[in-house]
Each structure stands twice: as C-alpha cells, then as structure tokens.
Amino acid sequence: MSIEVKDLSFFYNKGTSLEKKALDKVSFSIVKGEFVLITGEVGSGKSTLIRHLNGLLKPHSGSVKVSGINSTNRELRSKIGLLMQYPQRQLFGKTVFEDVAFGPSNFGLKDDELKERVNESLLLAGLCRDIADISPFSLSGGQMRLVALAGVLSMRPEYLILDEPTSGLDPENKASLFSTLKKLQTTGISVIIVSHQIDDFLPFANKVLFLKNGCVDFIGSPEEYLQSVSSPIPELTSLMKELQNCGFEVASDIYSVEDAFNEITRVLGSKEVYKDE
C-alpha cells in the first residue's frame, strides 16, 4: 500500500477575484512504514496538502491515490487517520470511552470487542484506561490531544497524519507522544507529521518533504535535507556549525541530542586539556 501524489494543484476561491494557488504541481510518494516529516514556512501549503491525503479536499488538477484508488473513496477513510492541529475540536463524547469508541462502533464493533479496542487505543496513545469513564473536557489540553489520537488509532489506520502534534504539549505529554509514534512505526504504520518544529521530529524521520510557496522545494532523507536546504535547520545543527566556526572538528550534519552528545564527547576526549597547577 502506498500514497501517490502526482502533479497536485489546488486553489482557494477558484474562479473569483480572490483566487489563490495553494499547491502547485506537487508530486511525491509515501510507502507503508515510512516516517515522513512535511515542513515549511507558514502559508507554504502544508495543511492544505494533508487534507488531500485523506480526501477532505479534492484536487483541482493532478491526483492523490492510495494503492491506486482515489483518496476521496470512502472505503479508504478508515485506513488514513488524521489528527488536526487542534484535536480537542475533534472531541464530542460525554466520556473518553464514547469518544474513542465512536469510529469502531460505527464499523460494527460491540460489547467486549469494542471495550478491548478502546483500552488498546488508550494505552497505545500513552493514556491510562482508568480515564475511560470521565469527560474528555475535564482533562488537560495535552491529555485531550492524546484522547483525540486514541480515537484515530481506534480505527487502526495504515497511515497516521498529525498536524503540529506537539503544539501546547508539556514535556511529559510530548515524551509520551514521541514514544507512541516510534511504537506505531514499528508496527508498520506510516507516520506523517506536518510541523515547523523540525527539532522535534527530524530525528525520527526517514523522509523530509519541504514545501515553499505551494511547491515541493526538497524531498529526501534528513541528511540530504541538512545538506540541501539552508533554512530552517534544527538548533542542534546550528550549534554544531557554530562549534565548527570556533575551531572544533565536529560533524555538522547532526540533529539529535544523542548524536550531538556523542560527537562533542568524542571531540573533547581527543583534545589535551591543560590545567594550572
């Protein structure tokens, strides 16, 4: 199963004096199991693009297909889960259970099977099953975001799309989200992140798509991205470049805390340190 986007173009207010092109002949593919980071400046077309991937928008030209089938086909909706930038707006149930159970119950799951699916989804989203009977609106913003994620996961999608998923999350909930996304990828789910917070997600990605003015400005691996795109780059990469400018022989294509620590430790360990007696 793969997502194939070919020459996708889309206009807002098409045919009016306010017409604006949001996407211009965008082409790329995503295969099952990939972790893809879609990034770019505000207004570059990121959110418009992902609304095409799950069929919320239809292309004005070009195509978006999942395994050869148009993404607007309702049969594919359960295979492509979308968590919006403000996922708390996706919540509506009187209880967390009701919210998470909504999707699978509409596909015929009942009783113990439905309860098991809800519990499984809550745990996968990094939440405790004990919150199932309380109102989602009594939770913190970060917990509400994870409940919305559990609702998407309850449909067992093959592709999971998240729009700015770390926005408003505290460090604990952010760590929980990262752990969940890594776990999901190991199960074969494709994770597609839309975010300008490249520091958060570049260490997990194996493909980066950089949009600029509605066009694909770059697509490739994180390493190729750091070599090909001047801005934006992660703060850690900027730090390593600054260390290079100060005379330290460190690698500059580094974007994870672990790799930065190991590189700095390696370089410092190779230098003689003189102390005043």
Query: For residue 48, what pLDDT is reported?
Result: 95
Residue 152 shares a structural domain with residue 98: yes
| Residue 32: inside a domain | yes
Residue 211 shares a structural domain with residue 250: no
* 155 Cβ neighbours under 8 A, 6+ residues apart: 78, 81, 103, 104, 107
Residue 15 shares a structural domain with residue 51: yes
* 157 Cβ neighbours under 8 A, 6+ residues apart: 78, 79, 80, 81, 189
Residues pairing with 163 in the sheet: 194
Closest CA to 161 of 149, 143, 144: 149
Local confidence pLDDT in tens for the 277 residues of the chain: 689 999 999 999 998 999 999 999 999 999 988 999 999 988 899 999 999 998 999 999 999 998 888 888 887 777 899 998 877 788 999 999 999 999 999 888 999 999 999 999 999 888 889 999 999 999 988 888 889 999 999 999 999 999 988 877 778 878 888 888 888 888 888 999 999 888 889 989 999 999 999 999 999 999 899 887 666 788 888 888 888 888 888 887 888 888 888 888 888 876 554 444 4
How many domains does the chain contain in total? Answer: 2
**Residue 187 contacts residue 181 (beta carbons within 8 Å):** no
Query: For residue 72, what pLDDT is reported?
Result: 84
Query: For residue 274, what pLDDT is reported?
Result: 44
| Residue 92: inside a domain | yes
For residue 38, which phi and psi values (nearest 5 degrees)? Answer: -105, 120
Query: For residue 271, what pLDDT is reported?
Result: 57
| Residue 254: inside a domain | yes
| Residue 264: inside a domain | yes
Residue 263 shares a structural domain with residue 164: no
Residue 70 shares a structural domain with residue 134: yes
Query: For residue 264, what are the domain limits?
Result: 234-271
